[in-house]
Homo-oligomer: A and B are copies of this chain.
Amino acid sequence: MTCDITIKDVAKQANVSVATVSRVLNGLDRVSDQTRKKVLKVVKELNYVPNTMAASMITKQTQMLAVVVPEIENPFYTSVIKGTVNVAKERGYNTFVFSTNDSESEEDTFFESSLRRNVDGIVLIGAHKDPVFYQKMNKPVILVDRYIDGCGLDGVIIDNFGGAYEATKYLIEYGHRDIAIITGPQTFNDGTERYWGYQQALKDNGIELVSDYQKHGDWFENNGYQSTKELMKLPKPPTAIFAANNLICQGTIKALRDLDLTIGLDVSLVGFDANDLAEFVKPRVSVVKRPTYEMGTHAAEMLIEKLKQVEKNESFPKKVTLGVELQKFGSVKYLG
């Protein structure tokens, strides 16, 4: 394990030129079988490891990607990261993992790092809201989960509207009319689309929107916890709750537990995105499941595909929407 041996050392030892060693190592050119073997033997003997950076300076490709997420400890993001990193690895790329705390300025820092390091491309769950910001990117970027319309970039998102609509419709079909939603900020499509889905399902079924039933906070567990408590304190509490992401749902489950309310009996609940507690409690909580790992793999594949066709026509931005699935368990009571 050394890295202070250079291509020159190999060339000298093998009695060939550096050009030849380079050819052998990259398997590109025609090299006689004899020299090839000779070089390879020396490479092994000397334990030579090529310096990627030196090569990058010429090829202009670093074989490095970056994946940028708001929070590395949220299992959803971890799953996306894993998908990205795995595909990247298979295709010969190494991946930087950045966590921005959902802060625009931290994200900026990382963009600069990425530029300085010349990463080939970026998988991004971004904090910036302004499409103009993204338009300035002169590196291949795939947006994941959040998509900014008009930014001109490719994206992999999920059917937020459809998922929320299905979840709400499901509650309605089971006879619920007093349905609350606990969701995050309406900054990105994840928030807005889920909220629209909820709204639309109610409207389509002639149910009026009650502002008290709509809790817009952040995407964290505590919002789920507090909002649930507030909801259940209302003069006329909702009979069902739609928790619009994994952490909020966990908060809701905890709050209901602390309030001694039984899910599926006292209150019905549907979550968005899988989470530990939803799977654990009895009855298990129905959730809209989304393909988290696949979002990562898909994004990485799109990105790498794009890198290959650098010169190609600057085609229109491609937005891929992955489907979601409503998984029904016993957390919704049938009201007839």
Return chain B residues, CB-CB under 8 Å to A99: 82, 85
**Which A61-75 residues have a C-beta within 8 angstroms of B?**
62, 64, 72-73, 75
Chain A, 255-275, CB within 8 A of any chain B CB = 257
B52 touches A3 (CB 8 A): no
B62 & A72 in contact (Cβ 8 Å cutoff)? no
Total copies of the chain: 2
A137-153: CB near B (< 8 Å → 1, else 0) gives: 11100000000000000
**CB-based nearest B residue for A2:** B138
Stretch at the interface among A114-122, A176-184, A189-197, A298-306: A114-122
C-alpha gap A250/B117 in the complex (Å): 41
CB distance from A182 to the nearest CB of B (A): 18
**Cβ–Cβ contact B94 & A95, under 8 A:** no
Tell me whether A35 is interfacial, beta carbon within 8 Å. no
Expressed in whole angstroms, the Cα–Cα distance for A286 and B282 within the complex equals 22
A283 at the interface (CB under 8 A from B): no
**A52 / chain B contacts, CB cutoff of 8 Å:** 116-118
Residues of chain A touching chain B, judged by Cβ–Cβ distance below 8 Å, are: 1-3, 49-54, 56-57, 62, 64, 72-73, 75, 78-79, 81-82, 85, 94-99, 111-113, 115-118, 136-139, 250, 253-254, 257, 276-277, 280, 282
With A1-B138, A53-B118 known, 18 other A-B pairs at CB within 8 A are: A1-B137, A3-B115, A3-B116, A3-B138, A51-B116, A51-B118, A52-B116, A52-B117, A52-B118, A53-B53, A64-B117, A72-B81, A78-B78, A82-B99, A85-B97, A94-B96, A95-B97, A280-B280
